Amino acid sequence: MGISSSGAGIGGIIYNLVAGAGIPSLGLPWTYRLLGLLTLIVNLICSILLKDRNMAVKPDKKLFNIREFGHISILLLISWGVFTELGYVVLLYALPNYANSIGLTSQQGSVVAAVLNVGQYR
């Protein structure tokens, strides 16, 4: 679990630094193509390594049960997840633009976003 959860921080660092270096040298369209290809390759590798544990665990519940939304604890958990992700994602996408607005270059803004992703590294 530690290796898999560290991928969020490492992936964010690589993604931001590749984008910051690629846009000036390759241009925006080719940088997006490169990032898309990089994402496809990593997701394919993860999909190949993923194992189905339903045969070993034999769960007795369905995948989706609408009655679970009647419990206040489930609604509070969903609300917590939405609001924490909303606050985090807004910061993740707004930080490079804020770095540009205070006078940093685009490459420095991508480094600032990469440093934010270091915080995800567990």
Task: Judge contact between 119 and 10, C-beta under 8 A.
Answer: no
Quick one: pLDDT at residue 121?
54
16: left (phi over 0), alpha (psi -120 to 50) or beta: alpha
Q: What are phi and psi of 61, to 5 degrees?
A: -105, 160
pLDDT at 6: 66
Check: CB of residue 112 under 8 Å from CB of residue 15.
no
pLDDT of 109 reads: 86
**pLDDT grade, residue 31 (50/70/90)?**
very high
Distances (CA, A) of 79 to 12, 68, 93: 25, 14, 21
Q: pLDDT tens for residues 47-86?
A: 898 887 777 777 766 777 777 788 899 899 999 988 888 8
Output the pTM of the full model. Answer: 0.56
Distance CA 95, CA 118 (A): 14
* pLDDT for residue 37: 94
pLDDT digits (tens, 9 = 90+) for 93-121: 788 888 989 998 888 888 888 888 777 65
Domain locations in the chain as residue ranges: 2-118
Give the pLDDT confidence score for residue 112 in this predicted structure.
Answer: 86
Structure token digits, residue 68: 């679970």
Do 1 and 91 meet the contact criterion of CB atoms below 8 Å apart? no
d(CA 54, CA 52): 6
